[in-house]
Protein backbone atom coordinates (compact mmCIF):
# COMPACT_ATOMS: atom_id res chain seq x y z
CA UNK A 1 0.00 0.00 0.00
CA UNK A 2 2.88 2.39 0.77
CA UNK A 3 4.29 2.05 -2.75
CA UNK A 4 0.97 2.97 -4.37
CA UNK A 5 0.61 6.03 -2.13
CA UNK A 6 4.19 7.08 -2.91
CA UNK A 7 3.59 6.66 -6.65
CA UNK A 8 0.44 8.76 -6.51
CA UNK A 9 2.21 11.45 -4.46
CA UNK A 10 5.10 11.61 -6.96
CA UNK A 11 2.67 11.69 -9.89
CA UNK A 12 0.72 14.58 -8.31
CA UNK A 13 3.77 16.79 -7.70
CA UNK A 14 3.84 18.35 -11.21
CA UNK A 15 0.11 19.02 -10.97
CA UNK A 16 0.55 20.71 -7.58
CA UNK A 17 3.43 22.85 -8.92
CA UNK A 18 1.29 23.85 -11.90
CA UNK A 19 -1.60 24.82 -9.62
CA UNK A 20 0.76 26.91 -7.49
CA UNK A 21 2.10 28.67 -10.60
CA UNK A 22 -1.43 29.42 -11.79
CA UNK A 23 -2.32 30.81 -8.38
CA UNK A 24 0.72 33.11 -8.52
CA UNK A 25 -0.14 34.28 -12.04
CA UNK A 26 -3.79 34.90 -11.13
CA UNK A 27 -2.71 36.90 -8.10
CA UNK A 28 -0.34 39.02 -10.21
CA UNK A 29 -3.10 39.65 -12.76
CA UNK A 30 -5.52 40.70 -10.02
CA UNK A 31 -2.89 43.05 -8.56
CA UNK A 32 -2.37 44.60 -11.98
CA UNK A 33 -6.07 45.02 -12.63
CA UNK A 34 -6.66 46.64 -9.25
CA UNK A 35 -3.70 49.03 -9.55
CA UNK A 36 -5.66 51.52 -11.59
CA UNK A 37 -5.80 52.64 -15.20
CA UNK A 38 -2.78 52.04 -17.45
CA UNK A 39 -0.30 54.82 -18.12
CA UNK A 40 1.40 55.47 -21.48
CA UNK A 41 4.79 53.77 -21.82
CA UNK A 42 7.69 55.58 -23.48
CA UNK A 43 10.40 53.02 -24.29
CA UNK A 44 13.03 55.69 -25.06
CA UNK A 45 12.52 57.41 -21.69
CA UNK A 46 12.65 54.00 -19.99
CA UNK A 47 15.99 53.17 -21.66
CA UNK A 48 17.42 56.54 -20.63
CA UNK A 49 16.31 56.05 -17.01
CA UNK A 50 17.92 52.60 -16.89
CA UNK A 51 21.15 53.90 -18.39
CA UNK A 52 21.28 56.79 -15.93
CA UNK A 53 20.71 54.43 -12.99
CA UNK A 54 23.60 52.28 -14.24
CA UNK A 55 25.84 55.32 -14.60
CA UNK A 56 26.05 55.25 -18.40
CA UNK A 57 25.78 58.33 -20.61
CA UNK A 58 22.44 57.82 -22.40
CA UNK A 59 23.44 60.13 -25.26
CA UNK A 60 26.03 57.72 -26.65
CA UNK A 61 24.64 55.44 -29.33
CA UNK A 62 26.86 52.45 -28.52
CA UNK A 63 28.69 51.66 -25.34
CA UNK A 64 30.40 48.74 -23.71
CA UNK A 65 29.15 47.71 -20.33
CA UNK A 66 32.03 47.91 -17.85
CA UNK A 67 32.65 44.76 -15.83
CA UNK A 68 29.94 42.20 -15.36
CA UNK A 69 26.28 42.97 -15.95
CA UNK A 70 24.00 42.97 -12.89
CA UNK A 71 22.52 39.61 -13.89
CA UNK A 72 25.98 38.00 -13.89
CA UNK A 73 26.40 37.68 -17.66
CA UNK A 74 29.58 38.70 -19.38
CA UNK A 75 29.83 42.34 -20.48
CA UNK A 76 28.50 43.18 -23.91
CA UNK A 77 27.86 46.00 -26.32
CA UNK A 78 24.43 47.58 -26.15
CA UNK A 79 22.73 49.83 -28.66
CA UNK A 80 20.34 52.53 -27.55
- Which tens digits make up the pLDDT trace of 6-16? 999 999 999 99
Our count of domains for the chain comes to 2
For residues 35 and 46, state if they share a domain. Answer: no
Q: What is the mean pLDDT of the chain?
A: 80
Range of 51's domain? 41-80
Which pLDDT value is given to residue 69? 55
How far is it, in rounded angstroms, from Cα 23 to Cα 16? Answer: 11
DSSP state of 1: -
Largest CA distance in the chain: 69
Q: Which residue has the higher pLDDT, 61 or 77?
A: 61
How far is it, in rounded angstroms, from Cα 63 to Cα 78? Answer: 6
Q: Do residues 79 and 62 touch, judged by C-beta distance below 8 A?
A: yes
- Which tens digits make up the pLDDT trace of 1-41? 679 999 999 999 999 999 999 999 999 999 999 999 988 99
Average pLDDT over residues 36-57: 87
For residues 45 and 79, state if they share a domain. Answer: yes
User: Kind of pairing, strands 62-64 and 77-79?
Assistant: antiparallel
Half-sphere exposure of 5 (CA within 13 A, CB side): 2
Amino acid sequence: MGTVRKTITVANQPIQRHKAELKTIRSALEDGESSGPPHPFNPDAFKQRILLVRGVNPHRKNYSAPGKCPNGNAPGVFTV
